[in-house]
Structure 1
């Protein structure tokens, strides 16, 4: 049975001895502390979104248009009455939460991906590892519990296949191919700092360690600064793929037997096409507002995508989740699980492994307590009947 809500008991009991948490107890607080304490480049990379950042703001504001209607005396207010576990794309999780794929974690903490892997394994939630990681696939896989691999499909199919096969061999349980990033969005915060980490050979560890990528290089990148510069330029020429179409999922299915989810879907017709092409999952997402400013809030897109997919595939959600009630709203609107991003990244930058653990425990405790107080024993209890729209 769920016990995530016990986190608050730990805090209050420690408070009797005058011990208070080192880190803020909300996603908003973590962001505020990160803005104050992190290196400006690192904070801008995590916090920044596209253009005027209207879509990033819309993602969080969209939750305000839905309100939960708690039910009383349902036998769920105690932890023994709740079980938050789910199975998504064949992966069993202790709660319907996975860490969203965030790249270049070395900007926040050395070996950041491994720290996230260790924490998610401890808590029993999922991890989605970014292609743009600072730590090679195999090292992260060895430390992880239930993890999926996120593919930025390069414009070289042989390289894409190698990345997928490496992830499969390293123990990934699903492949999440991101559809909304054939190129970079217009991100003023990074532009004002003149900072794109990949040009500094950061966040390309999976390429530098890949045999297909290395075969394209005249000189191993570790031999000299010039060789590394040429490796970076080679990466620039390979990142992103504007030619992909839904039918290309058939190619991906030839490379792995793992379930495939497509991330970055907002239009119901796109969802139908991806499922028709073999996707087992759809992740409704606008990349946290980092790609197309002025695009629809991800939560507003969720119900139509759920209706379009029906029972042919599982729908997940990301972009804007900040609280336990946000998770509940997304699940009530039809998501099977959520991907949670920026707050744990701030925690990583502030306190390393402990910061990631803290940020995730805050979300999970909030979710656990809020479900119990709303009369919901299991994620399956969350449906449209627990919501009221305030539109």
Structure 2
């Protein structure tokens, strides 16, 4: 903070009007090797692109003179009422974006009346996060039926995290060539060129040196690069196992007495099987395009999964959300709420807690504006009658033009 209370980390307000603005600024703030981790994905990034493009295949139905003085954006998820239909999803090593990562994100979530999902490889431990929390947040775990998983579940429960997301789409790590090309391997590979790039980001480098918050502190207690490598090795060895099956998920359902969601579902049959096991909800997710490239866009498979289990369980989704209008489309297609990941990491990189809060401010305003222009008074009113496939919208426009030509 500089003289007169001006924060020199901030750019001019008119430069940060959208999440894309935050993305560009975050890219400028972070070293290349860190940016490749935050924003990259598997193989050719086809799924990343498809996640975004899927939202462009829908148009809104609008009704005028609706008479709504204000819009209600609240939803209920995991047994709690959220003031905003957005949950901050689990992202590992958030401390790479900003040293207070997880703490800053949960504080911003609380400012907006929503929740943060604590990653297994959070940069602050489960217990540290609990001490900073004003409300009970959520917990994310990779499926494993051994003592490490049982220990993490006990710790999360004792810390007040009564809702758990089980991430099931990481039996092995995806092929993230971009990370490896920029040295984000295990261990990281630092060349003179990469060290020079880090040196060009002195604020980031100083935070890493002073605070050592780049590893998974719930798995490794040491800080810095050593702790990061240790936590990644533990995660890969203990919590990413291709032999895991539905019996392991059933074991977790038996052990976990709170709300339990399966995260990483893209098929209605898998969603149905999970709900049949007694899970409370599903998260339609392709891991943000970071695992298997050419998986379907989450918005494309959302309606079928909502049809399959939406009457028995909550349906959440993530992937590609960059506008408030995207959130509205997801809710109309059957989601009870959405999760975001990269967008709040951008906010962390630009301005810590306030950056995340501003990202949520932008989304809140965009959701509210979208509903007002549609003539919708509450997100609870949203269903598929409020959106139209753009091909149908284009055909309707052509029919209108043809009718006009005939009547002239």
Using structure 1 for the length normalisation, give the TM-score: 0.85
Q: CA deviation at 1:226?
A: 8.6
Q: CA deviation at 1:187?
A: 0.8
Partner of 1:388: 388
Would you say the 8 A contact 2:148–2:238 is kept in 1? no
Residues 180 and 312 of structure 1: CA distance in aligned 2, closer, same or farther (over 3 Å) = same
Residue 163 (1) aligns with residue 134 (2):
no
* Counterpart among 128, 137, 140 of residue 147 in structure 1: 137
Q: CA RMSD in A?
A: 2.4
Partner of 2:97: 108
Residue 191 (1) aligns with residue 184 (2):
no
Structure 2 Cα separation of the partners of residues 170 and 109 of structure 1: 23
Q: Deviations over 1:88-147 (max 9, x none)?
A: 121211111101111101111112100111111111012111111110011112323352
Structure 2 Cα separation of the partners of residues 135 and 167 of structure 1: 13
Residues 389 and 242 of structure 1: CA distance in aligned 2, closer, same or farther (over 3 Å) = same
Structure 2: 5+ residue runs without aligned partners?
1-10, 190-212, 392-408
Would you say the 8 A contact 1:88–1:337 is kept in 2? yes
Residue 50 (1) aligns with residue 42 (2):
yes
Residues 233 and 282 of structure 1: CA distance in aligned 2, closer, same or farther (over 3 Å) = closer
Which of the pair has more CA radius of gyration?
2
Using structure 2 for the length normalisation, give the TM-score: 0.82
Residues 229 and 106 of structure 1: CA distance in aligned 2, closer, same or farther (over 3 Å) = closer
Residues 65-104 of structure 1: pairs in structure 2 closer than 5 A: 65-76=57-68, 78=69, 81-104=70-93
Q: CA deviation at 1:275?
A: 0.8
Structure 2 Cα separation of the partners of residues 370 and 187 of structure 1: 35
Partner of 1:343: 343
Q: CA deviation at 1:202?
A: 3.8
Residues 369 and 45 of structure 1: CA distance in aligned 2, closer, same or farther (over 3 Å) = same
Q: CA deviation at 1:282?
A: 0.5
Matched pairs, number:
357
Would you say the 8 A contact 1:165–1:255 is kept in 2? no
Residues 1-391 of structure 1: pairs in structure 2 closer than 5 A: 21=13, 24-76=16-68, 78=69, 81-144=70-133, 145-154=135-144, 157-196=146-185, 202-209=214-221, 233-391=233-391
Q: Deviations over 1:43-83 (max 9, x none)?
A: 1111101100011000000001111112112222x3xx322
Structure 1: 5+ residue runs without aligned partners?
1-18, 210-220
Q: CA deviation at 1:229?
A: 7.0
Would you say the 8 A contact 1:124–1:146 is kept in 2? no
Partner of 1:8: none
| Higher mean C-alpha displacement, 25-34 vs 43-52 | 25-34
